[in-house]
Amino acid sequence: MFEAAELGHKIDKATYKDEVPKLREQLLDVQFELGEKKAFPVVLIVSGVDGAGKGETVNTLNFWMDPRNIHTHALGEPTDEENERPAMWRYWRALPPKGNIGVFFGSWYSFPMREHIEHGKGQDYLDSYLDDFLRFERMLADEGALILKFWLHLSKKDVKKKLKELEGDKATKWRVSKKDWDRYDLYDKMRPVAEHVMRRTSTGHAPWIVVESGDEKYRNLTVGRTILKAIRGRLEQQGKSSGASVPVAAIQENVDGVNMLDKLDYTLSLTKKDYAKQLELYQGRLSRLCRSPKFRDRSMLLVFEGNDAAGKGGSIRRVTAALDSRFYDIIPIAAPTDEEKVQPYLWRFWRHLPRKGHVAIFDRSWYGRVLVERVEGFCSEADWLRAYGEINDFEEQIARHGGIVQKFWLSITSEEQLSRFNEREATGYKRFKLTDEDWRNRDKWDVYSEAVCDMVERTSTELAPWTLVEANSKYFARIKVLKTLCERLESEL
Amino acid sequence: MFEAAELGHKIDKATYKDEVPKLREQLLDVQFELGEKKAFPVVLIVSGVDGAGKGETVNTLNFWMDPRNIHTHALGEPTDEENERPAMWRYWRALPPKGNIGVFFGSWYSFPMREHIEHGKGQDYLDSYLDDFLRFERMLADEGALILKFWLHLSKKDVKKKLKELEGDKATKWRVSKKDWDRYDLYDKMRPVAEHVMRRTSTGHAPWIVVESGDEKYRNLTVGRTILKAIRGRLEQQGKSSGASVPVAAIQENVDGVNMLDKLDYTLSLTKKDYAKQLELYQGRLSRLCRSPKFRDRSMLLVFEGNDAAGKGGSIRRVTAALDSRFYDIIPIAAPTDEEKVQPYLWRFWRHLPRKGHVAIFDRSWYGRVLVERVEGFCSEADWLRAYGEINDFEEQIARHGGIVQKFWLSITSEEQLSRFNEREATGYKRFKLTDEDWRNRDKWDVYSEAVCDMVERTSTELAPWTLVEANSKYFARIKVLKTLCERLESEL
């Protein structure tokens, strides 16, 4: 894999001097078009052998291009705010919006590679990270990002030569420390690991590009031209394409029309007296659970979805009544803001992940993609089909980091909805809760039901289960929500 | 001050039961209007004596109102990301957008009051914080925020009674710790301090409202009704008002037409050879300065403003060429995003404050308010007039926290601008740098010049000086920028 990068590539001074101005002008050109059109985000990873000039390369790029829409991220030790979220959170928050270029120094690959090479973490450990990265990059690519991963390569001999050169010059001597020589000693160990990483994670949509870096002029030109070609190619492609290609639907047909929502028992109910008693009971239990010292090191994400008028708000209110308002936040999901629109779909949910000891309650959620967006055609079929996997991955990351994800579908019958709509129309202060859209959605009852069933089937996991809540009786629904929460917390803490 | 809150106010159970549903409905009503209109942000501070029920009050409010656009912030110890910015940064990031309610538990007042009462910090220390808060709240109010500061009061006797009660009940015993009794012992010390704070910081636009809290029903109703009345009143007022009242202009007339920009020597220039030599010299110096260990504990904010085509981009590029791209970020300032539009003017700059050891370079900046927004009438006269003070305050906060703020105005003559515009029109890849707006701005040369002079006069401070850069010669300008930066850093580090 690295053989082609040990050929002694070189560019002479005169050629370089000749080529750079042309390249710069072209880079500025495509960059301008990229920015003006807010065409797509560009994710550049600059990684490689120590001493191969990662820093110089990034600085050169910044100098060549319009530095106003490039942002470089050299993420060192995570901050405490980052440590309280899943590992990829810090990268999500640094993602470039459409039209921008994000340069990731070392990037997500650095940490597990270092742990594996320097601190003896095993192959499985490394590979499980690589799987995460593959999914992450797949998602970025599906969201339209252009991803280029540069590996700047130097042979062991060249690393030694470089370090000696730096040490020999008074002006650069300070740049070489014992750590650099320690790393040099690890070269033979590092090389096959780097090969392994590249083999596993070089994909069509996010390729590794190995660049021989013994000659800085060759290195800079190669990196610059590769970026130019890739951005230009994508811009041309975007100009031509007439929308994303539609995959064959991977959803099975429901041939007998029976679905799990129909099978729920909508007659379940509670008397007012029983409700009052159980409400107090479960709210007390929930309150104690969330106050428990064990919860301080966890976090909880609650998702409330359901038919219009199924009583999401009322259920949420009964949950929050048991919580301390200092430790929860309700996130109502409406249309994305313009900062959210230029980011991958899940970005606007990542930004709301709770800190430890906190509860985030989503009133509607990322499931909008496979519900309203699917049904109304707000996204392509390809987009919502891949959303199931992306969502499972998202929730798994949260769960692995100690987050408790609990999802509720509040289900009512069509008749019950109609009567609640009518009641809302009649009641003054409830009128604002009913919109024309609610009536339109009602006309699509069956299509929505199908989407709900697919959603539950594909995203109810051990780590992040769905609870279907029979909600024709508000009392029953609220208690079921509270009870489910208590039991879940008891099993988790 | 607290006498009126020791009268033994009480609400009987029946009245409470009667009043609460009405109050809730009205609260939901105004809250809905507030949210729909994105009318203004509501900032609620809930502070007061320990044991007076701050938590219960906030929880009650959350329960009564639609919890989806209330967010409660109980900011404890600052995180490391917060510690690397000025003290108010954490509050800026938590500000409610228009249409939302932000509840601040204890709020910005807690920290300096505790330091003063419990840790012996002097009166001056406390008062300097109070001055900051006054300016902050003034700014919020001017930006349209509704600010209510509740102080929940209990007499010393009542605190004791409350603690005893809690201790006496098995279910609540755990809530009383030694710390609570220690705080009780400080009551006599706390009370005059609280009075002092309230006297100094109770203003028409951000009043303190002292609420007797011995009876929770009285307390809840009082807080709820006060909020209702305030939001409703403001909504009505907004409906009526025909724009902000315009203050008498506080800018002096320039009667002889001579200004500081005219007095600059635009013939200053450098030969290419001298430029090359000095460029290397100063870039080397700047590079060493920013690499210095002393800089790791500081941060730097550079502001580049100037006439169109004055060479801001070129100057920035010569600065960044000397820096490591891992430690700087360029923030081009264009139109605000929709998330920024629903926040106070300076919010979008606060969010970009650099961490320690980092440099933030603003290509255009917060000065847009007193330049383009003033000239084009994008904001009211009252808004840009108050901006001078707000900006000075903003920069002072950064400086006090160790940030180095350096501002450049790149100045060219009208003739030079014309020739650069013409050149841009003629050169293919530079054409995109010239827009119709640039030509329109040019027609307003004199008005812009006046705005620039006012700006420099009012915002060039010891802590955050403006450097006027004669920029008819690009070479001269770039070197002057670099030299100024080096000298500034040398004096700071």
d(CA B349, CA B374): 18
C-beta of residue A319 within 8 angstroms of C-beta of residue A376:
no
Give the B-side interface with A, CB within 8 Å: 25, 28-29, 32, 36, 55, 58-59, 61-63, 66-72, 74, 79-81, 103, 105, 313, 316-317, 320-321, 324-327, 329-330, 332, 337-339, 363, 429, 432
Predicted pLDDT of residue A247: 47
Of A28, A326, A339, the CB nearest to B74: A326
Mean pLDDT of chain B: 91
Predicted-complex ipTM score = 0.80
Half-sphere exposure for B258 (CA within 13 Å, toward CB): 3
Which chain A residues contact residue B63 at CB under 8 A? Answer: 317, 320-321
| Residues written for chain A | 493
Of B80, B325, B363, the CB nearest to A80: B80
Of B80, B313, B325, the CB nearest to A59: B325
As given in the structure block, the two tokens for residue A151 are: 């590996």
C-beta of residue A124 within 8 angstroms of C-beta of residue A92:
no
As given in the structure block, the two tokens for residue B138 are: 């003034």
Q: CB distance B79–A79 less than 8 Å?
A: yes
Say which amino acid occupies B109. Y
Which chain B residues contact residue A67 at CB under 8 A? Answer: 316-317, 320, 330
Distance from CA of B396 to the nearest CA of A (A): 26
Of A62, A81, A317, the CB nearest to B79: A81
Of A58, A62, A320, the CB nearest to B62: A320
* CA distances from residue A105 to A45, A59, A491, B324 in whole angstroms, order as listed: 6, 11, 41, 12
Tens-binned pLDDT, residue by residue, of chain A (493 aa): 787 788 888 999 999 999 999 999 999 999 999 999 999 999 999 999 988 999 999 999 998 998 888 999 988 889 989 999 999 999 999 999 999 999 999 899 999 999 999 999 999 999 999 999 999 999 999 999 999 999 999 999 999 998 998 888 887 888 788 888 988 999 999 999 998 999 899 888 898 999 999 999 999 999 999 999 999 999 998 877 554 444 444 556 666 667 889 889 999 999 999 999 999 999 999 999 999 999 999 999 999 999 999 999 999 999 999 999 889 999 999 889 999 999 999 999 999 999 999 999 999 999 999 999 999 999 988 889 889 989 999 999 999 999 999 999 999 999 999 999 998 888 766 666 778 888 888 999 999 999 999 999 889 988 899 999 999 999 999 999 999 999 999 999 9
As given in the structure block, the two tokens for residue A401 are: 């980091």
Predicted pLDDT of residue A251: 58
Say which amino acid occupies A174. W
**Sign, CA torsion B131/B132/B136/B137:** negative
Say which amino acid occupies B376. E
Place of tokens 């973490």: A121
Report percent pLDDT > 70 for chain B.
96
Please give the sequence-ordered ranges of beta strands (E in DSSP) within B101-258, or none if there are none: 101-105, 146-153, 208-212
Place of tokens 């942002």: A71
Q: Which residues, listed in sequence order, are joined to residue A146 by a DSSP beta bridge?
A: A42
3-state secondary structure of A222: helix
Which chain A residues contact residue B332 at CB under 8 A? Answer: 68-69
Closest-CA residue of chain A to B432: A32
Nearest to B113 by CA among B190, B1, B200: B190
Of A36, A317, A432, the CB nearest to B32: A432
Closest-CA residue of chain B to A56: B324
* CA distances from residue A80 to A87, A355, B78, B108 in whole angstroms, order as listed: 12, 10, 10, 22
Distance from CA of B250 to the nearest CA of A (A): 36
d(CA A243, CA B24): 49
C-beta of residue A482 within 8 angstroms of C-beta of residue A283:
yes
Q: Average pLDDT of B319-339? A: 92
DSSP for B202-224 reads --SSS-EEEEE-SSHHHHHHHHH
Say which amino acid occupies A284. G
As given in the structure block, the two tokens for residue B199 are: 């006297």
Closest-CA residue of chain B to A325: B59
As given in the structure block, the two tokens for residue B352 are: 């970009």
Say which amino acid occupies A171. A
DSSP for A438-463 reads HHHHHHTHHHHHHHHHHHHHHH--SS
3-state secondary structure of A70: strand
C-beta of residue B112 within 8 angstroms of C-beta of residue B8:
no
Q: Burial, B312: exposed, middle or buried (Cβ in 10 Å; 0-12, 13-18, 19+)?
A: buried
C-beta of residue A479 within 8 angstroms of C-beta of residue A275:
yes
d(CA A321, CA A415): 30
Helices then strands, each counted (H, E), chain A: 20, 10
Predicted pLDDT of residue B246: 46
Structural domains of chain A, with CATH: 3-240 (3.40.50.300), 272-492 (3.40.50.300)
* CA distances from residue B381 to A187, B370, B387, B388 in whole angstroms, order as listed: 65, 10, 10, 12
Q: How many CB pairs under 8 A join A and B?
A: 93
d(CA B457, CA B454): 5
**Helices A445-459 and A381-400 meet at what angle, rounded to 10?**
40
3-state secondary structure of A326: coil
d(CA A144, CA A336): 18
C-beta of residue A102 within 8 angstroms of C-beta of residue A42:
yes
d(CA A161, CA B150): 69
Closest-CA residue of chain B to A175: B291
C-beta of residue A214 within 8 angstroms of C-beta of residue A154:
yes
pLDDT tens-place string over residues B262-307 = 889 999 999 999 999 999 999 999 999 999 999 999 999 999 999 9
Predicted pLDDT of residue A241: 58
Q: Which residues, listed in sequence order, are joined to residue A48 by a DSSP beta bridge?
A: A152
3-state secondary structure of A138: helix
d(CA B185, CA B189): 8
Which chain A residues contact residue B59 at CB under 8 A? Answer: 321, 324-325
As given in the structure block, the two tokens for residue B75 are: 């900011």
As given in the structure block, the two tokens for residue B355 are: 């961490």
- Which DSSP symbol is given to A206? B
Q: CB distance A429–B28 less than 8 Å?
A: yes
- Which DSSP symbol is given to B248? P
Nearest to B309 by CA among B482, B439, B485, B475: B439
As given in the structure block, the two tokens for residue A413 are: 């019958």
As given in the structure block, the two tokens for residue B414 are: 């009208």
Q: CB distance B58–A337 less than 8 Å?
A: no
Q: Which residues, listed in sequence order, are joined to residue B301 by a DSSP beta bridge?
A: B360, B405
**Sign, CA torsion B51/B53/B56/B58:** negative
Please enumerate in sequence order all residues whose Cβ is within 8 A of that of A129, keeping only pairs 6 or more positions apart, or say none. A108, A111, A112
Distance from CA of A80 to the nearest CA of B (A): 6
C-beta of residue B82 within 8 angstroms of C-beta of residue B27:
no
Distance from CA of B173 to the nearest CA of A (A): 14
C-beta of residue B303 within 8 angstroms of C-beta of residue B406:
yes
Highest mean pLDDT among A480-484, B138-142, B377-381: A480-484
At CA B362, angle to CA B358 and CA B368, rounded to 5?
150
Give which of B326, B329, B342 to mutate to test A binding, by max A Cβ within 10 Å. Answer: B326
Report percent pLDDT > 90 for chain B.
74
d(CA B61, CA B42): 13
As given in the structure block, the two tokens for residue B123 are: 């009166």
Distance from CA of A81 to the nearest CA of B (A): 7
Closest-CA residue of chain A to B363: A68
Q: CB distance A332–B69 less than 8 Å?
A: yes
Q: Which residues, listed in sequence order, are joined to residue A152 by a DSSP beta bridge?
A: A48, A211
- Which DSSP symbol is given to B11? -
Q: Where are the alpha helices (DSSP H) in A327-405?
A: 338-341, 347-350, 372-376, 381-400
C-beta of residue B269 within 8 angstroms of C-beta of residue B412:
no
3-state secondary structure of A272: helix
As given in the structure block, the two tokens for residue A109 are: 């690959």
Is it the case that residue B99 has pLDDT exceeding 90?
yes
pTM listed for this prediction: 0.84
3-state secondary structure of B302: strand
Q: CB distance A62–B338 less than 8 Å?
A: no
Place of tokens 């899940």: A346
**H, E, C per residue of B348-411:** HHHCCCCCCCCEEEEECCHHHHHCHHHHHCCCCHHHHHHHHHHHHHHHHHHHHCCEEEEEEEEE
Question: Residue B132 — very low, low, confident or very high, per pLDDT cuts 50/70/90?
Answer: very high
Nearest to B213 by CA among B406, B54, B64: B54
d(CA A115, CA A113): 5
Distance from CA of A54 to the nearest CA of B (A): 11
Phi, psi at residue B310, to the nearest 5°? -80, -10
Phi, psi at residue B305, to the nearest 5°? -125, 165
Closest-CA residue of chain A to B284: A171
Give which of A104, A223, A325, A364 to mutate to test B binding, by max B Cβ within 10 Å. Answer: A325
Which chain B residues contact residue A29 at CB under 8 A? Answer: 429
